[in-house]
């Protein structure tokens, strides 16, 4: 049974609310005076606010190193209705602090990078008023994520959960008037919002069931009752965990609710890095790890979670191999890597899942920001060359790139480090975290192991393909020929992230298991896996094969003009078209869900709303008008009429009393 965690009076630990308040203060300052103080000042205010949140996390983390036992910091009472007593309490434990440091640290680097990136973006879009608004949204996003990972009950976690969902809608559709048909970006934001609401419905119902049967939403109160409930009502625990999985499929972009994340590339590149690297999409992985006591009690739910993650990892990796948009490749890569994490926590390997969450935050944030540097460099080259008309050139299409290794050397080297980390090449961080997940799969399920190894092969293939198409060979357009390196304010965060992506594996080196020993203070019944040299060698060889196969197809000899067909198109034939069309999942959803829903809503609007409700209201109004016209006849001004009505009323009243 999990012991109840006590409230703390430690003055250092009681600093934890500032991880939320710091970005909120930055938000308020920019909201009040941001437009008056100029771009650079408002950008640095937003960045320093998140840096302050990261600094607070470091201070609390150092104190927790001395006494790693979980503690609670009470801030305020929130809801007291009957037996429902909920407070805004901050949970300070080893798991929450890992999330605080990863989220705030990576977010701070993304904020600094955004100062340079958004300066060009708002100038390119000819709307300088949006610069301050962007940092307001970003600060709000970080504050919501901090609420989520420091919550001490499911309802406060849900507040942060919904907060990041709202901010993702605002940030994905930031340039809402842009995109296909003039509102494509707005549609992308709306799609993300609606799909996430489907998952959120599952989490909300799970919370209702939890309160109904456990009488509380506090983590410790719920978890302490799980052993007894597992014997008494196992079906309810299965329903709660599966409904939570529905929430995870929405927020962490797993099958079947992953379709929103690729469209989210409509947002500015820093948004892609923030949402798809260390923050919102990892919330589902954190939810399962935090609720490990619940999932450990329901093996059927654990198996379901593991297979959903494994299937997502492989399915999305197949799509990534045929995409030509530099950000879309990374988007499907994110879905795939999230599948690895979800599979890990589903198998009970919570340390492996959190370890990969952290390393993925480093190298995927690096890749997204470096991709933004590439796009910015190509756009500047396009402006200098004027090769195409404004609407004829796509700066994100990798077929319009090539040869950027010489034009943007700093961006190339950090991109190379991020790519090798993603591919799982030792000694970079991705090798250690991915190997630990594969080791867990080798102990739990050979089927999942095979699926994940295939996904690892495709990962190495598509990231090498991207690297070759973007940086190697000859420039395939004048925009690529004239591309320029990004400014230092963008490159410095990239270099820091590259260092983290390279050396992040030290958190959980074989035989040391530093992260595992740290998290054992917060998690129970963790699957412990050792370092398997044969399995690690197999994973390394698989990654190398992926690199070699990609080089065979996309080496310098194979790169030609932008109009040349993809080298994979001929050998894969019709399969390549399916992969390029993303297995036509969106079209399938359009036929099976969206179109029938629109037809049903149209029918309800016409038959139920207009013909039913509207006509009944019209009829009620008509009846009221007729009745008032009748009453108006009685108001004719003649006293004899009023006396007769009065007399008639008295007769009716006396008759009623007499009959009773």
Of 81 and 551, the one with more pLDDT: 551
Calculate mean pLDDT across residues 594-613: 84
Count other Cβ atoms within 10 Å, centred on residue 65. Answer: 11
The torsion defined by the Cα of 573, 575, 580 and 584, in degrees rounded to 10, comes to 140
Q: What's the structural domain count of the chain?
A: 2
Does one domain contain both 240 and 352?
A: yes
pLDDT of residue 602: 84
**What is the spatial distance between Cα 201 and Cα 207, in angstroms, rounded to a whole number?**
10
DSSP character for 282? G
Q: How confident is the model at residue 2 (pLDDT cuts 50, 70, 90)?
A: very low
Has residue 558 got a pLDDT over 80? no
Domain-located, residue 374: yes
Lowest model confidence (mean pLDDT) among 120-124, 150-154, 458-462, 601-605: 120-124
DSSP character for 267? S
Does one domain contain both 345 and 440?
A: yes
Mean pLDDT of all residues in the chain? 90
pLDDT, tens digit, 9 for 90 and up, residues 211-232: 999 999 999 999 999 999 999 8
Q: How confident is the model at residue 48 (pLDDT cuts 50, 70, 90)?
A: very high
DSSP character for 566? P
Calculate mean pLDDT across residues 80-99: 90
pLDDT, tens digit, 9 for 90 and up, residues 488-508: 999 999 999 999 999 999 998
pLDDT of residue 382: 83
pLDDT of residue 380: 87
Calculate mean pLDDT across residues 413-428: 96
Domain C-terminal end among 523, 546, 580 = 580
Cis before residue 103, ω within 30 degrees of 0?
no
Domain that holds residue 622: 593-659
Q: How confident is the model at residue 565 (pLDDT cuts 50, 70, 90)?
A: confident
Residue with tokens 């290794």: 405
Domain-located, residue 498: yes
Has residue 474 got a pLDDT over 60? yes
Has residue 562 got a pLDDT over 70? no
**What is the spatial distance between Cα 503 and Cα 499, in angstroms, rounded to a whole number?**
6
User: Exposed, middle or buried by CB within 10 Å (0-12, 13-18, 19+), for 522?
Assistant: buried
What are the backbone angles phi and psi of residue 81, rounded to the nearest 5°?
A: -130, 110
Q: Which is nearest to 293 in space by CA: 226, 376, 391?
A: 226
Distance linking the first and last C-alpha atoms of the chain: 68
Has residue 94 got a pLDDT over 60? yes
Query: Quick one: CA dihedral 434, 438, 439, 444, positive or negative?
Result: positive
Of 175 and 307, the one with more pLDDT: 307
Has residue 124 got a pLDDT over 70? no
Does one domain contain both 499 and 410?
A: yes
Has residue 176 got a pLDDT over 50? yes
Does one domain contain both 575 and 599?
A: no
Q: How confident is the model at residue 125 (pLDDT cuts 50, 70, 90)?
A: low
pLDDT of residue 8: 84
Domain-located, residue 2: no
Q: Which is nearest to 542 in space by CA: 449, 424, 642, 634?
A: 424
**What is the spatial distance between Cα 294 and Cα 299, in angstroms, rounded to a whole number?**
10
Q: Which residues make beta-bridge pairs with 225?
A: none
Domain-located, residue 1: no
Contacts 24+ apart (CB under 8 A), 189-196: 189/266, 189/267, 191/259, 191/260, 191/263, 192/168, 192/260, 192/261, 192/263, 192/264, 193/165, 193/166, 193/168, 193/169, 195/250, 195/257, 195/259, 195/260, 196/165, 196/168, 196/250, 196/251, 196/257, 196/260
pLDDT of residue 79: 83
Full DSSP string of 320-338: HTT--BHHHHHHHHHHHHH
Calculate mean pLDDT across residues 323-330: 94
Domain C-terminal end among 580, 604, 631 = 580
Q: Which residues contact 132 (CB under 8 A, 6 or more apart)?
A: 30, 34, 35, 39, 42
Domain-located, residue 8: no
3-state secondary structure at position 89: strand
Calculate mean pLDDT across residues 267-277: 87
Q: Are 373 and 411 in contact (CB under 8 A)?
A: yes
Count other Cβ atoms within 10 Å, centred on residue 573. Answer: 10
Domain C-terminal end among 550, 580, 610 = 580
Calculate mean pLDDT across residues 386-408: 79
Calculate mean pLDDT across residues 596-614: 83
User: With a threshold of 0.95, does the pTM exceed it?
Assistant: no
Has residue 1 got a pLDDT over 50? no
Has residue 446 got a pLDDT over 80? yes
**What is the spatial distance between Cα 132 and Cα 29, in angstroms, rounded to a whole number?**
10
Does one domain contain both 614 and 505?
A: no
Domain-located, residue 348: yes
Has residue 260 got a pLDDT over 80? yes
pLDDT, tens digit, 9 for 90 and up, residues 232-244: 899 999 999 999 9
Does one domain contain both 33 and 68?
A: yes
Has residue 331 got a pLDDT over 50? yes
Calculate mean pLDDT across residues 545-571: 79
Does one domain contain both 603 and 522?
A: no
Residue 14 CA to its chain's centroid (Å): 29
pLDDT, tens digit, 9 for 90 and up, residues 618-657: 888 888 888 888 777 777 777 877 788 888 888 888 888 8
pLDDT of residue 557: 57
Does one domain contain both 108 and 255?
A: yes
pLDDT of residue 630: 79
Does one domain contain both 537 and 638?
A: no
Does one domain contain both 608 and 568?
A: no
pLDDT of residue 163: 95
Q: Are 292 and 353 in contact (CB under 8 A)?
A: no
Does one domain contain both 179 and 290?
A: yes
Calculate mean pLDDT across residues 427-453: 95
Domain-located, residue 285: yes
pLDDT of residue 613: 82
Does one domain contain both 575 and 603?
A: no
Domain-located, residue 181: yes
Q: How confident is the model at residue 561 (pLDDT cuts 50, 70, 90)?
A: low
Q: Which residues contact 129 (CB under 8 A, 6 or more apart)?
A: 35
Region of 478 on the Ramachandran plot (φ > 0 left; ψ -120 to 50 alpha; else beta): alpha
């Amino acid at each position: 049974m999990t012991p109840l965690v006590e409230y703390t009076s430690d003055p250092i630990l009681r600093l934890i609310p500032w991880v939320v308040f710091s970005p909120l203060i930055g938000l308020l300052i920019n909201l009040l005076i941001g437009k008056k103080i100029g771009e650079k000042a408002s950008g640095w205010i937003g960045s320093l606010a998140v840096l302050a949140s990261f600094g607070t996390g470091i201070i609390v983390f150092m104190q927790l190193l001395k006494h790693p036992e979980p503690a609670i910091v009470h801030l305020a009472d929130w809801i007291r209705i009957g037996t429902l007593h909920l407070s805004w309490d901050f949970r300070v434990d080893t798991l929450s602090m890992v999330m605080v440091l990863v989220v705030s640290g990576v977010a701070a680097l993304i904020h600094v990078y955004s100062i340079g990136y958004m300066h060009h973006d708002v100038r390119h879009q000819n709307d300088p008023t949006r610069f301050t608004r962007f940092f307001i949204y970003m600060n709000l996003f970080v504050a919501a994520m901090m609420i989520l990972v420091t919550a001490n009950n499911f309802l406060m976690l849900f507040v942060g959960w919904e907060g990041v969902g709202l901010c993702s809608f605002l940030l994905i559709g930031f340039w809402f008037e842009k995109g296909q048909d003039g509102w494509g970006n707005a549609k992308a934001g709306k799609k993300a919002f609606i799909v996430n609401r489907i998952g959120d419905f599952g989490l909300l119902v799970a919370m209702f069931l939890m309160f109904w049967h456990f009488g509380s939403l506090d983590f410790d109160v719920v978890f302490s009752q799980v052993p007894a409930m597992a014997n008494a009502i196992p079906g309810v625990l299965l329903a709660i965990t599966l409904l939570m999985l529905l929430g995870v499929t929405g927020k962490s972009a797993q099958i079947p609710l992953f379709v929103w994340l690729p469209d989210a590339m409509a947002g500015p590149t820093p948004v892609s890095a923030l949402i798809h690297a260390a923050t919102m999409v990892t919330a589902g992985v954190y939810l399962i790890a935090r609720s490990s006591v619940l999932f450990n009690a329901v093996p059927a739910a654990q198996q379901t979670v593991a297979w959903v993650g494994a299937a997502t990892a492989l399915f999305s990796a197949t799509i990534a191999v045929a995409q030509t948009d530099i950000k879309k490749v990374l988007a499907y890569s994110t879905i795939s890597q999230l599948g690895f994490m979800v599979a890990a926590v589903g198998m009970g390997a919570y340390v492996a899942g959190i370890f990969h969450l952290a390393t993925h935050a480093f190298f995927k944030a690096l890749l997204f920001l470096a991709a933004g540097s590439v796009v910015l460099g190509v756009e500047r080259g396009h402006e200098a060359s004027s090769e195409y008309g404004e609407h004829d050139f796509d700066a994100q299409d990798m077929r319009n790139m090539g040869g950027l290794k010489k034009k943007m050397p700093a961006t190339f080297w950090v991109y190379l480090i991020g790519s090798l980390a993603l591919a799982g090449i030792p000694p970079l961080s991705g090798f250690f975290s991915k190997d630990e997940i594969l080791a867990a799969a080798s102990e739990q399920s050979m089927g999942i192991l095979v699926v994940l190894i295939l996904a690892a092969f495709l990962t190495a293939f598509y990231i090498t393909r991207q690297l070759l198409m973007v940086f190697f060979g000859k420039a395939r357009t004048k925009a690529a020929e004239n591309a320029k390196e990004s400014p230092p304010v963008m490159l410095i965060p990239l270099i820091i992230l590259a260092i983290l992506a390279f050396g992040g594996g030290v958190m959980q080196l074989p035989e040391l298991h530093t992260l595992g020993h740290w998290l054992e203070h917060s998690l129970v019944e963790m699957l412990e896996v050792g370092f398997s040299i044969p399995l690690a060698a197999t994973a390394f060889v698989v990654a190398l094969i992926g690199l070699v196969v990609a080089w065979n197809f996309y080496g310098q000899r194979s790169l030609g003009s932008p109009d040349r067909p993809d080298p994979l198109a001929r050998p894969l034939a019709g399969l390549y078209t399916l992969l390029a069309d993303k297995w036509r999942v969106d079209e399938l959803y359009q036929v099976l869900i969206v179109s029938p829903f629109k037809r049903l809503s149209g029918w309800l609007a016409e038959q139920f709303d207009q013909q039913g409700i509207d006509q009944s209201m019209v009829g009620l109004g008509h009846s009221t008008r007729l009745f008032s016209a009748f009453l108006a006849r009685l108001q004719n001004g003649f006293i004899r009429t009023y006396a007769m009505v009065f007399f008639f009323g008295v007769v009716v009243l006396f008759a009623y009393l007499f009959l009773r």
